[in-house]
Structure 1
Amino acid sequence: MMIGQLAADTGLSVRTLRFYADVGVLPAQGRTASGYRLFGPDAVARARLVRTLRELGVGLDDIKRVLGVEASLTEVAAEHVRALDAQIRVLRLQRAVLRAFIGSTDPEELRRMTELINLTAEQRRRLVDDYLDAVFGDSRSAVADKLAMGTPELPEDPSPEQVAAWVEVAELLRDPDFIATSRRMAERARAEGPEPDVAQFEVGKAVGELAGPAARAGVDPASPDALAVIERLEALGPSPSEVRTHVADRIEAFTDRRVGRYWTLVGIINGWPPSQAPDDIIDAWEWYARALRAHA
Protein backbone atom coordinates (compact mmCIF):
# COMPACT_ATOMS: atom_id res chain seq x y z
CA MET A 1 0.00 0.00 0.00
CA MET A 2 1.03 3.60 -0.50
CA ILE A 3 1.62 5.99 2.36
CA GLY A 4 -1.77 7.72 1.95
CA GLN A 5 -3.62 4.42 2.47
CA LEU A 6 -1.40 3.60 5.47
CA ALA A 7 -2.23 6.97 6.98
CA ALA A 8 -5.96 6.35 6.53
CA ASP A 9 -5.73 2.86 8.11
CA THR A 10 -3.66 3.93 11.13
CA GLY A 11 -4.88 7.46 11.84
CA LEU A 12 -1.31 8.73 11.66
CA SER A 13 -0.37 11.67 9.48
CA VAL A 14 1.61 11.18 6.28
CA ARG A 15 4.32 13.41 7.75
CA THR A 16 4.63 11.18 10.84
CA LEU A 17 4.78 8.02 8.74
CA ARG A 18 7.52 9.52 6.58
CA PHE A 19 9.49 10.34 9.73
CA TYR A 20 9.09 6.76 11.04
CA ALA A 21 10.24 5.46 7.68
CA ASP A 22 13.25 7.78 7.58
CA VAL A 23 14.46 6.76 11.08
CA GLY A 24 14.06 3.07 10.31
CA VAL A 25 11.19 1.97 12.56
CA LEU A 26 8.75 1.65 9.65
CA PRO A 27 10.82 0.71 6.59
CA ALA A 28 9.21 0.76 3.14
CA GLN A 29 9.38 -2.41 1.07
CA GLY A 30 9.98 -0.56 -2.16
CA ARG A 31 8.97 2.42 -4.28
CA THR A 32 6.69 3.02 -7.23
CA ALA A 33 8.04 4.07 -10.60
CA SER A 34 7.25 7.61 -9.55
CA GLY A 35 9.33 7.23 -6.38
CA TYR A 36 6.50 6.89 -3.83
CA ARG A 37 7.05 4.55 -0.88
CA LEU A 38 5.29 1.22 -0.80
CA PHE A 39 4.56 -0.57 2.49
CA GLY A 40 3.89 -4.24 3.14
CA PRO A 41 0.84 -5.89 4.76
CA ASP A 42 2.40 -5.74 8.27
CA ALA A 43 2.88 -1.97 8.11
CA VAL A 44 -0.47 -1.15 9.73
CA ALA A 45 0.20 -3.27 12.85
CA ARG A 46 3.80 -2.07 12.98
CA ALA A 47 2.81 1.61 12.72
CA ARG A 48 0.17 1.20 15.43
CA LEU A 49 2.71 -0.45 17.74
CA VAL A 50 5.20 2.36 17.13
CA ARG A 51 2.51 4.95 17.87
CA THR A 52 1.54 3.19 21.14
CA LEU A 53 5.13 2.93 22.33
CA ARG A 54 5.82 6.57 21.46
CA GLU A 55 2.72 7.66 23.39
CA LEU A 56 4.12 5.78 26.37
CA GLY A 57 7.38 7.68 25.99
CA VAL A 58 9.53 4.82 24.72
CA GLY A 59 12.48 6.10 22.68
CA LEU A 60 13.04 5.32 19.04
CA ASP A 61 16.21 3.33 19.76
CA ASP A 62 14.29 0.98 22.08
CA ILE A 63 11.48 0.69 19.53
CA LYS A 64 14.06 -0.37 16.92
CA ARG A 65 15.33 -3.04 19.33
CA VAL A 66 11.82 -4.44 19.77
CA LEU A 67 10.96 -4.38 16.08
CA GLY A 68 14.34 -5.84 15.20
CA VAL A 69 13.82 -8.66 17.73
CA GLU A 70 16.95 -7.59 19.62
CA ALA A 71 14.82 -7.27 22.77
CA SER A 72 11.35 -8.49 23.67
CA LEU A 73 8.52 -6.05 24.20
CA THR A 74 8.40 -7.17 27.86
CA GLU A 75 12.09 -6.37 28.38
CA VAL A 76 11.74 -2.93 26.85
CA ALA A 77 8.58 -2.28 28.87
CA ALA A 78 10.39 -3.26 32.11
CA GLU A 79 13.30 -0.95 31.27
CA HIS A 80 10.91 1.87 30.52
CA VAL A 81 9.03 1.30 33.80
CA ARG A 82 12.31 1.62 35.70
CA ALA A 83 13.13 4.84 33.87
CA LEU A 84 9.66 6.23 34.52
CA ASP A 85 9.90 5.31 38.21
CA ALA A 86 13.15 7.26 38.48
CA GLN A 87 11.63 10.20 36.65
CA ILE A 88 8.54 10.14 38.88
CA ARG A 89 10.72 10.17 42.01
CA VAL A 90 12.55 13.23 40.73
CA LEU A 91 9.30 14.98 39.85
CA ARG A 92 7.84 14.23 43.28
CA LEU A 93 10.92 15.66 44.98
CA GLN A 94 10.81 18.74 42.79
CA ARG A 95 7.13 19.22 43.61
CA ALA A 96 7.83 18.86 47.33
CA VAL A 97 10.69 21.39 47.12
CA LEU A 98 8.49 23.95 45.42
CA ARG A 99 5.69 23.38 47.94
CA ALA A 100 8.14 23.80 50.81
CA PHE A 101 9.45 27.00 49.23
CA ILE A 102 6.00 28.60 48.86
CA GLY A 103 5.85 31.66 51.08
CA SER A 104 9.61 32.19 51.14
CA THR A 105 11.29 35.13 49.42
CA ASP A 106 14.87 33.87 49.67
CA PRO A 107 16.21 32.44 46.36
CA GLU A 108 19.22 31.05 48.24
CA GLU A 109 16.89 28.85 50.29
CA LEU A 110 15.43 27.38 47.09
CA ARG A 111 18.94 26.74 45.77
CA ARG A 112 19.94 24.89 48.98
CA MET A 113 16.77 22.83 48.91
CA THR A 114 17.24 21.88 45.26
CA GLU A 115 20.91 21.00 45.75
CA LEU A 116 20.32 18.74 48.74
CA ILE A 117 17.12 17.15 47.47
CA ASN A 118 18.75 16.20 44.15
CA LEU A 119 21.22 13.94 45.95
CA THR A 120 20.56 10.27 45.29
CA ALA A 121 19.52 7.98 48.15
CA GLU A 122 23.09 6.61 48.16
CA GLN A 123 24.56 10.12 48.38
CA ARG A 124 22.21 10.98 51.24
CA ARG A 125 23.30 7.83 53.06
CA ARG A 126 26.94 8.78 52.43
CA LEU A 127 26.32 12.15 54.07
CA VAL A 128 25.24 10.38 57.26
CA ASP A 129 28.11 7.88 57.05
CA ASP A 130 30.64 10.71 56.67
CA TYR A 131 29.21 12.34 59.80
CA LEU A 132 29.45 9.07 61.77
CA ASP A 133 33.03 8.53 60.59
CA ALA A 134 33.97 12.09 61.61
CA VAL A 135 32.41 11.67 65.07
CA PHE A 136 33.29 8.07 65.96
CA GLY A 137 36.11 7.08 63.61
CA ASP A 138 36.90 3.40 64.01
CA SER A 139 35.80 3.39 67.67
CA ARG A 140 32.16 2.55 67.13
CA SER A 141 29.83 2.24 70.11
CA ALA A 142 26.19 1.73 71.04
CA VAL A 143 25.70 5.46 70.52
CA ALA A 144 27.08 5.22 66.98
CA ASP A 145 24.90 2.19 66.27
CA LYS A 146 21.83 4.09 67.49
CA LEU A 147 22.66 6.99 65.17
CA ALA A 148 23.21 4.62 62.27
CA MET A 149 19.86 2.91 62.91
CA GLY A 150 18.20 6.32 63.03
CA THR A 151 19.40 7.34 59.58
CA PRO A 152 16.97 9.76 57.95
CA GLU A 153 15.32 8.09 54.94
CA LEU A 154 13.54 10.58 52.71
CA PRO A 155 10.43 8.88 51.24
CA GLU A 156 9.80 8.79 47.50
CA ASP A 157 6.85 11.18 47.81
CA PRO A 158 7.89 13.51 50.65
CA SER A 159 5.73 16.19 52.17
CA PRO A 160 6.97 19.81 52.23
CA GLU A 161 7.67 19.33 55.96
CA GLN A 162 9.87 16.30 55.24
CA VAL A 163 11.77 18.22 52.56
CA ALA A 164 12.42 21.13 54.91
CA ALA A 165 13.48 18.71 57.67
CA TRP A 166 15.89 16.89 55.32
CA VAL A 167 17.51 20.17 54.26
CA GLU A 168 18.02 21.14 57.91
CA VAL A 169 19.42 17.69 58.80
CA ALA A 170 21.85 17.80 55.88
CA GLU A 171 23.12 21.20 56.94
CA LEU A 172 23.58 19.95 60.53
CA LEU A 173 25.52 16.89 59.38
CA ARG A 174 27.92 19.13 57.42
CA ASP A 175 28.28 21.74 60.18
CA PRO A 176 31.84 21.54 61.63
CA ASP A 177 30.67 22.87 65.02
CA PHE A 178 27.90 20.26 65.26
CA ILE A 179 30.40 17.54 64.31
CA ALA A 180 32.87 18.79 66.96
CA THR A 181 30.15 18.85 69.63
CA SER A 182 29.03 15.34 68.68
CA ARG A 183 32.64 14.12 68.82
CA ARG A 184 33.11 15.52 72.35
CA MET A 185 29.93 13.77 73.50
CA ALA A 186 31.09 10.49 71.92
CA GLU A 187 34.52 10.72 73.57
CA ARG A 188 32.97 11.35 76.98
CA ALA A 189 30.54 8.46 76.50
CA ARG A 190 33.49 6.14 75.74
CA ALA A 191 35.46 7.41 78.72
CA GLU A 192 32.63 6.94 81.19
CA GLY A 193 31.96 3.31 80.41
CA PRO A 194 29.05 1.25 79.18
CA GLU A 195 25.49 2.29 78.50
CA PRO A 196 23.30 3.24 81.51
CA ASP A 197 21.34 0.50 83.25
CA VAL A 198 17.57 0.33 83.62
CA ALA A 199 17.61 2.28 86.88
CA GLN A 200 19.25 5.24 85.14
CA PHE A 201 16.55 5.21 82.47
CA GLU A 202 14.00 5.44 85.25
CA VAL A 203 15.83 8.48 86.60
CA GLY A 204 15.72 10.05 83.15
CA LYS A 205 11.96 9.55 82.99
CA ALA A 206 11.58 11.01 86.48
CA VAL A 207 13.61 14.09 85.53
CA GLY A 208 11.00 14.87 82.89
CA GLU A 209 8.15 14.27 85.35
CA LEU A 210 9.63 16.23 88.29
CA ALA A 211 12.17 18.74 86.96
CA GLY A 212 10.12 19.47 83.82
CA PRO A 213 7.13 21.01 85.63
CA ALA A 214 9.50 22.92 87.95
CA ALA A 215 11.35 24.39 84.97
CA ARG A 216 8.13 25.38 83.23
CA ALA A 217 6.77 26.92 86.42
CA GLY A 218 9.92 29.04 86.84
CA VAL A 219 10.96 27.47 90.16
CA ASP A 220 14.27 28.97 91.32
CA PRO A 221 16.96 26.22 91.05
CA ALA A 222 18.46 27.49 94.34
CA SER A 223 15.17 27.27 96.25
CA PRO A 224 14.09 24.66 98.84
CA ASP A 225 11.49 23.42 96.34
CA ALA A 226 14.30 22.67 93.90
CA LEU A 227 16.23 20.83 96.60
CA ALA A 228 13.16 18.68 97.27
CA VAL A 229 13.11 17.71 93.57
CA ILE A 230 16.82 16.83 93.71
CA GLU A 231 16.35 14.63 96.75
CA ARG A 232 13.43 12.78 95.17
CA LEU A 233 15.49 12.13 92.06
CA GLU A 234 18.56 11.06 94.04
CA ALA A 235 16.41 8.54 95.88
CA LEU A 236 15.77 6.84 92.54
CA GLY A 237 19.34 6.90 91.27
CA PRO A 238 21.84 4.02 91.37
CA SER A 239 24.52 6.30 92.86
CA PRO A 240 22.83 8.77 95.25
CA SER A 241 26.17 9.55 96.87
CA GLU A 242 27.67 10.82 93.59
CA VAL A 243 28.91 14.41 93.81
CA ARG A 244 26.20 16.73 92.50
CA THR A 245 28.63 18.88 90.55
CA HIS A 246 29.86 15.79 88.71
CA VAL A 247 26.29 14.87 87.80
CA ALA A 248 25.74 18.45 86.60
CA ASP A 249 28.91 18.26 84.49
CA ARG A 250 27.68 15.09 82.84
CA ILE A 251 24.23 16.51 82.15
CA GLU A 252 25.72 19.61 80.55
CA ALA A 253 28.09 17.49 78.46
CA PHE A 254 25.23 15.48 76.97
CA THR A 255 22.62 18.21 76.72
CA ASP A 256 22.72 19.95 73.36
CA ARG A 257 19.69 21.49 71.72
CA ARG A 258 21.01 20.76 68.24
CA VAL A 259 21.20 17.05 69.01
CA GLY A 260 17.62 17.17 70.22
CA ARG A 261 16.67 19.08 67.09
CA TYR A 262 18.41 16.45 64.95
CA TRP A 263 16.23 13.67 66.37
CA THR A 264 13.10 15.76 65.94
CA LEU A 265 13.98 16.26 62.27
CA VAL A 266 14.79 12.57 61.76
CA GLY A 267 11.40 11.72 63.23
CA ILE A 268 9.68 14.06 60.76
CA ILE A 269 11.61 12.64 57.79
CA ASN A 270 11.04 9.01 58.76
CA GLY A 271 7.39 9.54 59.72
CA TRP A 272 7.84 8.46 63.35
CA PRO A 273 5.02 9.17 65.82
CA PRO A 274 5.54 12.53 67.54
CA SER A 275 7.15 12.35 70.98
CA GLN A 276 7.80 14.84 73.73
CA ALA A 277 9.38 18.00 72.35
CA PRO A 278 13.19 17.81 72.77
CA ASP A 279 13.29 21.43 73.93
CA ASP A 280 11.00 20.49 76.85
CA ILE A 281 13.28 17.59 77.76
CA ILE A 282 16.39 19.75 77.52
CA ASP A 283 14.74 22.50 79.60
CA ALA A 284 14.11 19.92 82.33
CA TRP A 285 17.69 18.61 82.30
CA GLU A 286 19.24 22.10 82.18
CA TRP A 287 17.11 23.19 85.13
CA TYR A 288 18.12 20.05 87.03
CA ALA A 289 21.82 20.73 86.35
CA ARG A 290 21.49 24.30 87.66
CA ALA A 291 19.69 23.02 90.74
CA LEU A 292 22.42 20.44 91.39
CA ARG A 293 25.08 23.15 91.28
CA ALA A 294 23.05 25.44 93.53
CA HIS A 295 22.76 22.67 96.12
CA ALA A 296 26.18 21.07 95.70
Structure 2
Amino acid sequence: MWSIGELAEQAGVTVKTVRFYSDRGLLPEAARSAGGHRRYGPEALDRLRLIRSLRTLELPVSEVGRVLDREDALEDVIAAQLRELGSRRAALHWREAALRLLRDCTPEERPDRLRLIGAVSAPPNTAALARFWRRVLPVGLPARLVSVIIEAAVPQPPADPTPGQVLVFARLHALASDARIVIDLCQPAFRLSDGGCRPAVLYDGLGEACALVSADLRAQRPPHEGEALDCFVSAHARSRGMRDTPAFRQQLSGLLTRMANPPIDRYWQLAAELSGPRSGPPEPTLGAADDWLRAALDTQIGRPGL
Protein backbone atom coordinates (compact mmCIF):
# COMPACT_ATOMS: atom_id res chain seq x y z
CA MET A 1 0.00 0.00 0.00
CA TRP A 2 1.28 3.46 -0.89
CA SER A 3 0.66 6.80 0.68
CA ILE A 4 -0.46 9.66 -1.53
CA GLY A 5 3.11 10.96 -1.68
CA GLU A 6 4.52 7.54 -2.60
CA LEU A 7 1.96 7.10 -5.35
CA ALA A 8 2.74 10.57 -6.69
CA GLU A 9 6.45 9.72 -6.74
CA GLN A 10 5.84 6.39 -8.52
CA ALA A 11 3.72 8.12 -11.19
CA GLY A 12 5.95 11.17 -11.57
CA VAL A 13 3.24 13.65 -10.65
CA THR A 14 2.58 16.00 -7.77
CA VAL A 15 0.64 15.16 -4.63
CA LYS A 16 -1.80 17.87 -5.64
CA THR A 17 -2.52 16.02 -8.89
CA VAL A 18 -3.21 12.73 -7.10
CA ARG A 19 -5.48 14.50 -4.62
CA PHE A 20 -7.32 16.28 -7.46
CA TYR A 21 -8.22 13.02 -9.22
CA SER A 22 -9.01 11.29 -5.94
CA ASP A 23 -11.41 14.03 -4.92
CA ARG A 24 -13.25 13.64 -8.22
CA GLY A 25 -13.64 9.92 -7.82
CA LEU A 26 -11.32 9.02 -10.68
CA LEU A 27 -8.70 7.44 -8.42
CA PRO A 28 -10.32 5.30 -5.75
CA GLU A 29 -8.52 4.71 -2.49
CA ALA A 30 -7.78 1.16 -1.39
CA ALA A 31 -7.89 2.01 2.32
CA ARG A 32 -7.18 4.61 4.98
CA SER A 33 -4.45 4.51 7.56
CA ALA A 34 -5.15 4.59 11.27
CA GLY A 35 -4.57 8.31 11.11
CA GLY A 36 -7.06 8.71 8.26
CA HIS A 37 -4.48 9.12 5.50
CA ARG A 38 -5.18 7.78 2.04
CA ARG A 39 -3.63 4.53 0.93
CA TYR A 40 -3.45 3.24 -2.65
CA GLY A 41 -2.73 -0.16 -4.15
CA PRO A 42 -0.74 -0.99 -7.33
CA GLU A 43 -3.89 -0.75 -9.47
CA ALA A 44 -4.07 2.96 -8.62
CA LEU A 45 -0.74 3.49 -10.36
CA ASP A 46 -2.02 1.91 -13.58
CA ARG A 47 -5.20 3.97 -13.39
CA LEU A 48 -3.25 7.17 -12.74
CA ARG A 49 -1.02 6.53 -15.73
CA LEU A 50 -4.10 5.99 -17.90
CA ILE A 51 -5.59 9.23 -16.62
CA ARG A 52 -2.37 11.09 -17.47
CA SER A 53 -2.36 9.63 -20.99
CA LEU A 54 -5.94 10.72 -21.57
CA ARG A 55 -5.30 14.16 -20.16
CA THR A 56 -2.23 14.52 -22.42
CA LEU A 57 -4.73 14.36 -25.29
CA GLU A 58 -6.54 17.27 -23.59
CA LEU A 59 -9.65 15.25 -22.84
CA PRO A 60 -11.87 17.02 -20.30
CA VAL A 61 -11.97 15.44 -16.84
CA SER A 62 -15.62 14.51 -17.37
CA GLU A 63 -14.70 12.59 -20.52
CA VAL A 64 -11.83 10.87 -18.72
CA GLY A 65 -14.36 9.70 -16.15
CA ARG A 66 -16.55 8.24 -18.89
CA VAL A 67 -13.62 6.28 -20.31
CA LEU A 68 -12.69 4.94 -16.87
CA ASP A 69 -16.27 3.92 -16.10
CA ARG A 70 -17.01 2.25 -19.45
CA GLU A 71 -14.54 0.31 -21.53
CA ASP A 72 -16.46 1.01 -24.75
CA ALA A 73 -16.61 4.79 -24.17
CA LEU A 74 -13.12 5.55 -25.50
CA GLU A 75 -14.13 5.23 -29.14
CA ASP A 76 -17.03 7.66 -28.71
CA VAL A 77 -14.85 10.11 -26.82
CA ILE A 78 -12.16 10.00 -29.50
CA ALA A 79 -14.73 10.59 -32.26
CA ALA A 80 -16.19 13.56 -30.37
CA GLN A 81 -12.76 15.07 -29.81
CA LEU A 82 -11.87 14.71 -33.48
CA ARG A 83 -15.08 16.52 -34.43
CA GLU A 84 -14.28 19.30 -31.99
CA LEU A 85 -10.73 19.64 -33.31
CA GLY A 86 -12.06 19.77 -36.86
CA SER A 87 -14.40 22.56 -35.87
CA ARG A 88 -11.59 24.49 -34.17
CA ARG A 89 -9.35 24.06 -37.20
CA ALA A 90 -12.13 25.25 -39.54
CA ALA A 91 -12.71 28.27 -37.29
CA LEU A 92 -9.01 29.17 -37.39
CA HIS A 93 -8.89 28.83 -41.18
CA TRP A 94 -11.98 31.00 -41.47
CA ARG A 95 -10.66 33.67 -39.11
CA GLU A 96 -7.32 33.77 -40.91
CA ALA A 97 -8.98 34.21 -44.31
CA ALA A 98 -11.32 36.88 -42.89
CA LEU A 99 -8.40 38.81 -41.40
CA ARG A 100 -6.53 38.63 -44.69
CA LEU A 101 -9.63 39.89 -46.48
CA LEU A 102 -9.79 42.92 -44.17
CA ARG A 103 -6.05 43.51 -44.37
CA ASP A 104 -6.01 43.60 -48.15
CA CYS A 105 -9.11 45.72 -48.81
CA THR A 106 -9.23 49.49 -49.17
CA PRO A 107 -10.23 51.73 -46.24
CA GLU A 108 -13.48 52.50 -48.07
CA GLU A 109 -14.37 48.80 -48.37
CA ARG A 110 -13.50 47.89 -44.81
CA PRO A 111 -16.66 49.04 -42.95
CA ASP A 112 -18.98 47.07 -45.25
CA ARG A 113 -16.80 43.97 -45.09
CA LEU A 114 -16.58 44.17 -41.33
CA ARG A 115 -20.37 44.32 -41.17
CA LEU A 116 -20.75 41.31 -43.46
CA ILE A 117 -18.12 39.20 -41.70
CA GLY A 118 -19.40 40.16 -38.26
CA ALA A 119 -22.78 38.60 -39.01
CA VAL A 120 -21.25 35.17 -39.73
CA SER A 121 -20.05 32.76 -37.06
CA ALA A 122 -16.61 31.13 -37.23
CA PRO A 123 -16.69 28.50 -38.47
CA PRO A 124 -19.80 29.46 -40.41
CA ASN A 125 -22.96 27.38 -40.59
CA THR A 126 -25.66 27.24 -43.22
CA ALA A 127 -28.71 27.53 -40.96
CA ALA A 128 -29.70 30.93 -42.38
CA LEU A 129 -29.50 29.62 -45.95
CA ALA A 130 -31.60 26.54 -45.17
CA ARG A 131 -34.13 28.71 -43.31
CA PHE A 132 -34.32 31.01 -46.36
CA TRP A 133 -35.38 28.16 -48.63
CA ARG A 134 -37.85 26.74 -46.13
CA ARG A 135 -39.58 30.11 -46.06
CA VAL A 136 -39.71 30.76 -49.81
CA LEU A 137 -40.57 27.25 -51.02
CA PRO A 138 -44.30 26.57 -51.49
CA VAL A 139 -46.33 25.77 -48.41
CA GLY A 140 -47.38 22.13 -48.40
CA LEU A 141 -44.44 20.88 -50.44
CA PRO A 142 -43.61 17.35 -49.19
CA ALA A 143 -40.82 17.22 -46.63
CA ARG A 144 -38.92 14.82 -48.87
CA LEU A 145 -38.77 17.39 -51.66
CA VAL A 146 -37.93 20.24 -49.30
CA SER A 147 -34.94 18.27 -47.99
CA VAL A 148 -33.73 17.43 -51.50
CA ILE A 149 -34.02 21.04 -52.65
CA ILE A 150 -32.27 22.45 -49.60
CA GLU A 151 -29.44 19.95 -49.91
CA ALA A 152 -28.91 20.97 -53.53
CA ALA A 153 -29.45 24.71 -53.01
CA VAL A 154 -27.34 25.31 -49.90
CA PRO A 155 -23.59 25.28 -50.59
CA GLN A 156 -21.24 24.21 -47.84
CA PRO A 157 -18.57 26.72 -46.77
CA PRO A 158 -15.04 25.59 -47.72
CA ALA A 159 -13.02 24.09 -44.85
CA ASP A 160 -9.97 26.14 -45.85
CA PRO A 161 -11.45 29.22 -47.57
CA THR A 162 -9.72 31.93 -49.52
CA PRO A 163 -10.41 35.53 -48.47
CA GLY A 164 -12.62 35.83 -51.55
CA GLN A 165 -14.69 32.83 -50.49
CA VAL A 166 -15.19 34.34 -47.04
CA LEU A 167 -16.58 37.46 -48.67
CA VAL A 168 -18.82 35.45 -51.01
CA PHE A 169 -20.28 33.40 -48.16
CA ALA A 170 -20.81 36.53 -46.04
CA ARG A 171 -22.71 38.15 -48.92
CA LEU A 172 -24.75 35.00 -49.44
CA HIS A 173 -25.56 34.88 -45.73
CA ALA A 174 -26.61 38.55 -45.78
CA LEU A 175 -28.90 37.99 -48.76
CA ALA A 176 -30.55 34.95 -47.19
CA SER A 177 -31.00 36.83 -43.89
CA ASP A 178 -32.65 39.88 -45.48
CA ALA A 179 -36.28 39.78 -44.35
CA ARG A 180 -37.38 42.17 -47.10
CA ILE A 181 -36.15 39.80 -49.80
CA VAL A 182 -37.91 36.86 -48.16
CA ILE A 183 -41.17 38.80 -47.94
CA ASP A 184 -40.94 39.77 -51.62
CA LEU A 185 -40.27 36.19 -52.69
CA CYS A 186 -43.29 34.98 -50.73
CA GLN A 187 -45.59 37.17 -52.83
CA PRO A 188 -47.77 35.36 -55.41
CA ALA A 189 -46.05 37.16 -58.29
CA PHE A 190 -42.85 35.25 -57.64
CA ARG A 191 -44.26 31.80 -56.83
CA LEU A 192 -44.11 29.18 -59.55
CA SER A 193 -46.65 27.10 -57.68
CA ASP A 194 -49.50 29.62 -57.51
CA GLY A 195 -52.53 29.69 -59.77
CA GLY A 196 -53.83 26.17 -59.25
CA CYS A 197 -50.44 24.55 -59.68
CA ARG A 198 -49.56 21.31 -57.87
CA PRO A 199 -46.18 22.06 -56.24
CA ALA A 200 -45.07 18.47 -55.69
CA VAL A 201 -45.61 17.59 -59.36
CA LEU A 202 -43.82 20.75 -60.47
CA TYR A 203 -40.75 20.44 -58.26
CA ASP A 204 -40.39 16.71 -58.86
CA GLY A 205 -40.30 17.39 -62.58
CA LEU A 206 -37.96 20.37 -62.26
CA GLY A 207 -35.54 18.24 -60.25
CA GLU A 208 -35.51 15.63 -63.02
CA ALA A 209 -34.95 18.32 -65.68
CA CYS A 210 -32.04 19.82 -63.72
CA ALA A 211 -30.44 16.40 -63.43
CA LEU A 212 -30.79 15.85 -67.20
CA VAL A 213 -29.15 19.17 -68.03
CA SER A 214 -26.15 18.79 -65.69
CA ALA A 215 -24.00 17.12 -68.38
CA ASP A 216 -24.64 20.01 -70.79
CA LEU A 217 -23.70 22.51 -68.09
CA ARG A 218 -20.46 20.72 -67.24
CA ALA A 219 -19.55 20.52 -70.92
CA GLN A 220 -20.51 24.22 -71.26
CA ARG A 221 -22.81 23.46 -74.19
CA PRO A 222 -25.17 26.28 -75.20
CA PRO A 223 -28.90 25.91 -74.48
CA HIS A 224 -30.67 23.67 -76.99
CA GLU A 225 -33.78 21.57 -77.52
CA GLY A 226 -33.87 18.03 -76.24
CA GLU A 227 -34.92 15.74 -73.42
CA ALA A 228 -34.02 18.16 -70.62
CA LEU A 229 -36.11 20.99 -72.10
CA ASP A 230 -39.05 18.65 -72.78
CA CYS A 231 -38.91 17.45 -69.15
CA PHE A 232 -38.79 21.06 -67.92
CA VAL A 233 -41.83 22.14 -69.92
CA SER A 234 -43.70 18.94 -69.12
CA ALA A 235 -43.24 19.55 -65.38
CA HIS A 236 -44.89 22.97 -65.70
CA ALA A 237 -47.69 21.64 -67.90
CA ARG A 238 -48.51 18.60 -65.77
CA SER A 239 -48.46 20.64 -62.55
CA ARG A 240 -51.18 22.86 -64.05
CA GLY A 241 -53.19 20.06 -65.61
CA MET A 242 -52.34 21.28 -69.12
CA ARG A 243 -50.76 19.79 -72.24
CA ASP A 244 -47.32 20.60 -73.59
CA THR A 245 -48.16 22.46 -76.80
CA PRO A 246 -46.41 25.26 -78.76
CA ALA A 247 -48.96 27.69 -77.37
CA PHE A 248 -48.23 26.55 -73.80
CA ARG A 249 -44.49 26.94 -74.38
CA GLN A 250 -45.03 30.47 -75.61
CA GLN A 251 -47.16 31.25 -72.57
CA LEU A 252 -44.68 29.63 -70.18
CA SER A 253 -41.77 31.61 -71.59
CA GLY A 254 -43.60 34.87 -70.99
CA LEU A 255 -44.62 33.81 -67.48
CA LEU A 256 -41.08 32.84 -66.48
CA THR A 257 -39.73 36.11 -67.87
CA ARG A 258 -42.20 38.12 -65.78
CA MET A 259 -41.27 36.12 -62.70
CA ALA A 260 -37.52 36.78 -63.01
CA ASN A 261 -36.15 37.90 -59.65
CA PRO A 262 -32.74 39.57 -59.27
CA PRO A 263 -32.15 38.48 -55.62
CA ILE A 264 -32.60 34.82 -56.54
CA ASP A 265 -30.29 35.27 -59.53
CA ARG A 266 -27.78 36.86 -57.18
CA TYR A 267 -28.13 33.94 -54.74
CA TRP A 268 -27.27 31.41 -57.45
CA GLN A 269 -24.37 33.51 -58.68
CA LEU A 270 -22.87 33.63 -55.18
CA ALA A 271 -23.57 29.93 -54.58
CA ALA A 272 -21.71 29.06 -57.79
CA GLU A 273 -18.73 31.19 -56.76
CA LEU A 274 -18.60 29.57 -53.34
CA SER A 275 -18.96 25.93 -54.36
CA GLY A 276 -16.87 26.10 -57.50
CA PRO A 277 -13.20 25.05 -57.66
CA ARG A 278 -10.48 27.63 -57.22
CA SER A 279 -9.76 27.36 -60.94
CA GLY A 280 -11.95 26.32 -63.86
CA PRO A 281 -15.74 26.50 -64.27
CA PRO A 282 -17.91 26.24 -61.15
CA GLU A 283 -20.04 23.20 -60.38
CA PRO A 284 -23.58 23.49 -61.82
CA THR A 285 -26.19 24.82 -59.43
CA LEU A 286 -29.96 24.51 -59.58
CA GLY A 287 -29.99 28.15 -60.60
CA ALA A 288 -27.61 27.55 -63.50
CA ALA A 289 -29.74 24.62 -64.65
CA ASP A 290 -32.91 26.72 -64.48
CA ASP A 291 -31.26 29.56 -66.44
CA TRP A 292 -30.08 27.11 -69.11
CA LEU A 293 -33.53 25.57 -69.47
CA ARG A 294 -35.27 28.94 -69.66
CA ALA A 295 -32.79 30.09 -72.30
CA ALA A 296 -33.38 26.87 -74.26
CA LEU A 297 -37.14 27.51 -74.15
CA ASP A 298 -36.75 31.12 -75.30
CA THR A 299 -34.44 30.06 -78.10
CA GLN A 300 -36.87 27.39 -79.28
CA ILE A 301 -39.82 29.77 -79.53
CA GLY A 302 -37.74 32.41 -81.28
CA ARG A 303 -37.02 34.77 -78.38
CA PRO A 304 -33.24 34.50 -77.98
CA GLY A 305 -31.57 36.59 -75.35
CA LEU A 306 -34.55 36.66 -72.98
Shorter-chain-normalised TM-score: which range? 0.5 to 0.7
1:12 CA drift (Å): 1.5
One-letter amino acid of the counterpart of residue 9, structure 1: Q
Aligned length: 239
Structure 2 segments unaligned to the other structure (5+ residues): 103-109, 217-221, 225-245
Tell me if structure 1 keeps the 8 A contact 2:117–2:170: no
1:274 to 282, 286, 289: 282
- CA shift for structure 1 position 175: 2.6
Q: Do the aligned partners of residues 108 and 172 (structure 1) sit closer, same or farther apart at CA in structure 2, a change above 3 Å counting? A: closer
Q: Work out whether residues 22 and 28 of structure 2, in 8 Å CA contact, stay in contact via their aligned partners in 1.
A: yes
Q: 2-side partners of 1:22 and 1:92: how far apart?
A: 34
Paired residue for 1:173? Answer: 176
Deviation of residue 51 (structure 1)?
Answer: 0.8
Does the CA contact (< 8 Å) of 2:91 and 2:122 recur in 1? no
Structure number, greater radius of gyration: 1
Equivalent residue in structure 2 for 1:159, among 153, 161, 165: 161
2:232 matches 1:205: no
Residue among 266, 270, 273 paired with 1:265:
270
Measure how far apart 1:145 and its partner are: 9.1
Matches of residues 72-91 of structure 1 in structure 2 within 5 Å? Answer: 72-75=70-73, 77-91=74-88
Residue 253 (structure 1) aligned with residue 258 (structure 2): yes
**TM-score using structure 1 length:** 0.59
1:94 aligns with 91
Q: 2:116 is matched by which residue type in structure 1?
A: E
Cα deviations by residue, 1:243-281 (Å, 9 ceiling, x for unpaired): 9xx96x657524444322211222344447527998xx8
In structure 2, what residue type is equivalent to 1:52? S
CA shift for structure 1 position 81: 2.7
Aligned mates of 2:262, 2:64 — CA distance in 1: 57
Query: Structure 1 residues 44 and 148, CA, compared in 2 at 3 Å: closer, same or farther?
Result: closer
Q: CA deviation at 1:45?
A: 0.5
Q: Specify the SS of the correspondent of 1:266.
A: helix
Q: Which runs of 5+ in 1 are unaligned?
A: 207-237
Q: What RMSD over aligned residues (CA atoms) do the two structures have, in Å?
A: 4.6
Corresponding letter in the other structure for 1:265: L
Q: 1:60 to 1:96 in 2, by over 3 A?
A: closer
Give SS of 1:95's match: helix
1: distance between equivalents of 2:23 and 2:148? 61
What is the rounded CA distance, in whole Å, between the counterparts of 2:57 and 2:146 in structure 1? 47
**Alignment CA distance shift 1:115-1:2 (3 Å):** closer
